[in-house]
């Protein structure tokens, strides 16, 4: 049986018990047919907040309100689609990992709880997408073509769980910033975000604790390789999660220059990108993965910066003022 220390066992027990005591169902906890959650394509609350890279761009802010609503609704629906696509990869990989675990390991139980919750998230996100009526594709085409193979990374569990964090942290950070912000959100969007944030807290906690347990067991060479893979995976999957597909610019005639600046060529958008990774930079420090070579790689990838002082710390400078 795989050796698991008592502290890690205690964490897994608490997380598993939390999944039993506090869980959500997308069709019990959201009254989709109520007037409150009706999808209104004319609702100005679809306008993108400043924590969205495109929403913060001066070009978007200069558009007529109707245009900003249309773009915002499409962008929000597409992020939901991206979220469910990523969750499906996570489920496939985590199932692969869990089914190789020996009898008696508490990781098995927690992984199954998490996969159950992720299935609910897929239903929740897809229901919202369906009710917008928009034909959003989700990830960019190049990511969609390769995503069918990403779950194979589960044969390298440390790499796979770094990838889980790389996908979960940007969406979690974006949703928290959107809810904390001054701009109101459509009620159905806000409710899906609230549910997702509540349950992702457990999932992110598990990934952090999993990496603490596994990375400490690596030798010097293995840890050195992990320190370099870590920021590369973070940056690559941040693109998969947050970069919109070409369909967005084609549908709304958004200039290519604007898309390049928003994702992630301008100093303002790079600050937003850096803000996604405060917690994982903190984790890299805790795991001993922020060595001088790795630190230069984080900087070269433009995702360096101050680590969070605590998990979930708001990134106060992430918002971009209007030009």
pLDDT of 316? 61
pLDDT on residue 126: 98
Would you state the pLDDT for residue 4? 75
Nearest CA to 70 out of 50, 46, 86, 94 is that of: 46
Provide the pLDDT for residue 225: 98
3-state secondary structure the chain: CCCCCHHHHHHHHHHHHHHHHCCCCCCCCCCCCCHHHCCCCCCHHHCCCCCCCCCCCHHHHCCCHHHHHHHHHHHHHHHHHHHHHHHHHHHHHHHHHHCCCCCCCHHHHHHHHHHHHHHHHHHHHHHHHHHHCCCCCCCCHHHHHHHHHHHHHHHCHHHHHHHHHHHHHHHHHHHHHHHHCCCCCCHHHHHHHHHHHHHHHHHHHHHHHHHHHHHCCCCHHHHHHHHHHHHHHHHHHHHHHHCCCHHHHHHHCCCHHHHHHHHHHCHHHHHHHHHCCHHHHHHHHHCCCCCHHHHHHHHHCCCCCCCCCCCCCCCCCCCCCCC
Q: For each of the chain's 323 residues, which pLDDT tens digit applies?
A: 456 788 999 999 999 999 999 889 999 999 999 999 999 999 999 999 999 999 999 999 999 999 999 999 999 999 999 999 999 999 999 999 999 999 999 999 999 999 999 999 999 999 999 999 999 999 999 999 999 899 999 999 999 999 999 999 999 999 999 999 888 999 999 999 999 999 999 999 999 999 999 999 999 999 999 999 999 999 999 999 999 999 999 999 999 999 999 999 999 999 999 999 999 999 999 999 999 999 999 999 999 999 998 887 876 654 443 33
CB 276 within 8 A of CB 53: no
CB 273 within 8 A of CB 302: yes
Q: Which fold has domain 13-300?
A: Ribonucleotide Reductase, subunit A (1.10.620)
Give the whole-angstrom CA distance, residue 68 versus residue 44: 8
* pLDDT given at position 3: 63
**pLDDT score recorded for residue 181:** 86
Instruction: Give residue 67's pLDDT.
Output: 98
| Residue extents of the structural domains in the chain | 13-300
């Amino acid at each position: 049986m795989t050796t698991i220390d008592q502290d890690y066992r205690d964490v897994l027990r608490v997380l598993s018990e939390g999944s039993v005591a506090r869980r959500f169902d997308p069709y019990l906890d959201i009254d989709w047919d109520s007037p409150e959650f009706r999808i209104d394509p004319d609702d100005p609350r679809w306008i993108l907040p400043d924590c969205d890279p495109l929403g913060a761009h001066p070009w978007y802010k200069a558009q007529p309100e109707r245009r900003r609503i249309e773009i915002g609704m499409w962008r929000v629906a597409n992020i939901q689609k991206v979220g469910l696509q990523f969750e499906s990869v996570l489920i496939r990989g985590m199932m692969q990992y869990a089914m190789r675990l020996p009898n008696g390991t508490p990781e098995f139980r927690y992984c199954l709880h998490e996969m159950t919750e992720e299935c609910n998230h897929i239903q929740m996100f897809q229901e919202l997408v369906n009710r917008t009526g928009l034909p959003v594709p989700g990830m960019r085409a190049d990511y969609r073509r390769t995503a069918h193979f990403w779950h194979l990374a589960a044969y390298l569990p440390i790499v796979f769980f770094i990838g889980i964090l790389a996908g979960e942290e940007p969406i979690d950070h974006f949703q928290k910033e959107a809810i904390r912000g001054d701009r109101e959100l459509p009620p159905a969007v806000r409710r899906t975000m609230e549910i997702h944030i509540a349950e992702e807290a457990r999932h992110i906690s598990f990934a952090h604790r999993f990496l603490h347990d596994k990375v400490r067991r690596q030798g010097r060479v293995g840890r050195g390789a992990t320190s370099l893979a870590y920021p590369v995976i973070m940056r690559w999957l941040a693109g998969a999660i947050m970069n919109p597909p070409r369909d967005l610019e084609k549908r709304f005639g958004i200039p290519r220059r604007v898309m390049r600046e928003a994702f992630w060529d301008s100093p303002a958008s790079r600050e937003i990108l850096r803000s996604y990774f405060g917690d994982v930079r903190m984790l890299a420090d805790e795991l001993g993965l922020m060595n001088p070579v790795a630190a230069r790689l984080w900087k070269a990838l433009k995702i360096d910066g101050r680590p969070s002082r605590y998990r979930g710390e708001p990134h106060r400078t992430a918002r971009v003022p209007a030009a």
